[in-house]
Amino acid sequence: MTKRAYNFNAGPAALPLDVLKQAQEEFVDFRGIGMSIMEISHRSKEYEQVNDEAQSLVKELLGVPSGYQVLFLQGGASTQFAMIPMNFLKQGKAAGYVLTGSWADKAYKEAQGIGETYVAATGQPGGFRAVPNAAEIEARPGAAYVHLTSNETIAGSQFAAYPDTGDVPLIGDLSSDIMCRPIDVSKFSLIYAGAQKNLGPSGVTLVIVKDDLLEQAAKGLPTMLSYGTHAKSKSLYNTPPVYSVYIMNLVLKWLKQNGGLEAMERFNRDKTKLIYDAIDGSGGFYEGLVDPGSRSLMNITFALGSEELEKRFIRESEKEGFVGLKGHRDVGHIRASTYNAVPYESCKALADFMNDFRQRNG
Ligand SMILES: Cc1ncc(COP(=O)(O)O)c(C=O)c1O
């Protein structure tokens, strides 16, 4: 058995062991062609098959209705922060941003440099301990779109349900929770997600965009920054990140083999409950940083009584084989990222470690 770390990294993050093993098997000789997938043209039938399989698995797993395009882009989710307003924030219209923490703020700031924006709702007064509820989100009539961040990777909050924005297109950054549960894609006009948390390695960004919205995209943009370019060419306009798409395809197959997104949600709820229970049952030794109704299934954040104690927690956890528990450098504290590929056993081991640490230090 390969010895695997208890990997709680925030991204790039844990990948399913089965996927890594299959990639290892196929690394030198992909499907009997005598070359690796990285050594052949992206216009070869072998690569086109990988690209097509991955696109149709995205549609199948998420239940993407007809009238949407699935794109595989580059530049990370951060490039989407700019591409979205460049393509869809027309003069004379404003785009609403729902502010839930660091990532939403980055998307908002990028849009502010490109066009007119407004704050559709903000969780700032409460210190981002909760995401705004659907009724608080202002979808102004005639707005270009409303943008939200489904899961705040740094704060550790997540929307339990998405708002209904009526005629105003809803755009979602699902970078850190895509495919952690079933969603109703039809609520969104555009979804984007960097792959490096739940879908595979970094290098590819998934975009799901509605044809209606695509038709309204700005003309005259630089070729690579126009969604239309990629939609017209099945994401093969230029050389794609072939290895990232290949691994993503394996991850999507793994998701399907393991029962799809309903099974994944049950699995994620069960395994994160172990850690949330360790927080809630600690009599205040661990303090959750997000209100229960907005807690994330993907990033669990908590504090201990002092920085000194947190340093000791990290030090001791590392000795026990835990990786990635240090909170983001902007906020500190502790963060356990529990993406789809993080096994139940890792979460159980962390909950046990937390209980033991509390008994020794409480
Ligand atoms: C919610 C969210 N949005 C956007 C990003 C930025 O992604 P990228 O590094 O792919 O640009 C991240 C990265 O962690 C994220 O968690």
Q: Please say whether the dihedral angle defined by the alpha carbons of residues 112, 118, 122 and 124, taken in this order, is positive or negative.
A: positive
CA 149 to centroid of ligand 1, rounded, Å: 10
Q: In the chain, what are the helix, strand and coil shares in percent, each to the nearest 5?
A: 40, 15, 40
Contact predicate 249/206, CB 8 Å: no
Tell me if the domain spanning 18-257 has CATH number 3.40.640.10: yes
Best residue among 72, 74, 78, 79 to mutate for probing ligand 1, ranked by most atoms within 8 Å of CB: 78
Best residue among 100, 153, 178 to mutate for probing ligand 1, ranked by most atoms within 8 Å of CB: 153
Q: What is the pLDDT along the chain (362 residues), one digit of tens a residue?
A: 678 999 999 999 999 999 999 999 999 999 999 999 999 999 999 999 999 999 999 999 999 999 999 999 999 999 999 999 999 999 999 999 999 999 999 999 999 999 999 999 999 999 999 999 989 999 999 999 999 999 999 999 999 999 999 999 999 999 999 999 999 999 999 999 999 999 999 999 999 999 999 999 999 999 999 999 999 999 999 999 999 999 999 999 999 999 999 999 999 999 999 999 999 999 999 999 999 999 999 999 999 999 999 999 999 999 999 999 999 988 899 999 999 999 999 999 999 999 999 999 98
CA 159 to centroid of ligand 1, rounded, Å: 17
Q: Using only C-alpha atoms, what is the Rg of the chain?
A: 21
Active-site residues, by number, are: 103, 173, 197
Q: For ligand 1, is residue 80 a contact (CB within 6 Å)?
A: no
Q: For ligand 1, is residue 77 a contact (CB within 6 Å)?
A: yes
Q: For ligand 1, is residue 100 a contact (CB within 6 Å)?
A: no
Q: For ligand 1, is residue 153 a contact (CB within 6 Å)?
A: yes
Q: Where are the alpha helices (DSSP H) in the chain?
A: 17-26, 45-62, 76-88, 102-112, 211-215, 227-232, 242-257, 260-280, 307-319, 344-361
Which residue intervals of the chain bear CATH 3.40.640.10?
18-257
Strand intervals (E) in 144-248: 145-149, 151-152, 157-158, 170-173, 190-194, 205-210
What's 260-361's CATH class?
alpha beta
CA 196 to centroid of ligand 1, rounded, Å: 9
Distance, in Å, from the CA atom of 327 to the CA atom of 220, rounded to the nearest integer, reads 42
Which residue intervals of the chain bear CATH 3.90.1150.10?
260-361
- Nearest atom (ligand 1) to Cα of 205: 10
